[in-house]
Amino acid sequence: MDYSIGDLSKQTGVKVPTIRYYEKEGLLDAPLRTEGNQRRYRETDLDRLGFIKHCRDLGLPMPAIRDLIELSQHPDKTCEQADQIAATQLESVRQRIAHLKKLEAELERIAASCCGDHTVTECNVLKAFGDHSLCGNEH
C-alpha cells in the first residue's frame, strides 16, 4: 500500500511541513514520485514517521533520533548506544522536572505574598517579579 503525504500526516498527526523537513534532514527516505510528481510513501515510511514522532514526543533531540535510526539499520549491534541515549534523555527530563518544581515553589510563594487588596504600588507580586518601575519605584 502507498500513501500520500496527506495520508501520512493524518495517520501520524505529523504536519505536512514537518514531514518534508524530516525528509530534508534525512530522517525519512526520499519518497517515490508519481508521474505527476506527487510524493508516495510506503508502509515502512509510515512506521518510521511514527517512530520519529514518538521520539519527538519523548523530547529526544534530532541527533539522538538520527543515531537511533542509524542504529536500527544494524540489527547485529549491541543496544548499548540506544540505552545511553535513553539514559541521557531521562536525566535531561529529571533536570527539567527539578527546575519546574523550583519554579512552582517560587510562584506559590509569590502568589501567596499578595491578597489582591493592595494598590499596584504596594503589590507584592509585582515587587517579587522585580519590575519596580511598574510599582512606581525607580531602579
d(CA 126, CA 134): 7
Region 104-129 average pLDDT: 80
C-alpha cell at 41: 510513501
C-alpha cell at 22: 524530516
| b/e map 57-89, b = 16+ CB within 10 Å | eeebeeebbbbbbebeeeeeeeeeeeeebeeeb
- 34-81 pLDDT tens trace: 888 888 999 999 999 999 999 999 999 999 999 999 999 998 999 999
Structural domain spans, the chain: 1-77
Q: What's the CATH fold of domain 1-77? A: Multidrug-efflux Transporter Regulator; Chain: A; Domain 2 (1.10.1660)
Q: Is pTM, for the whole model, over 0.75? A: yes
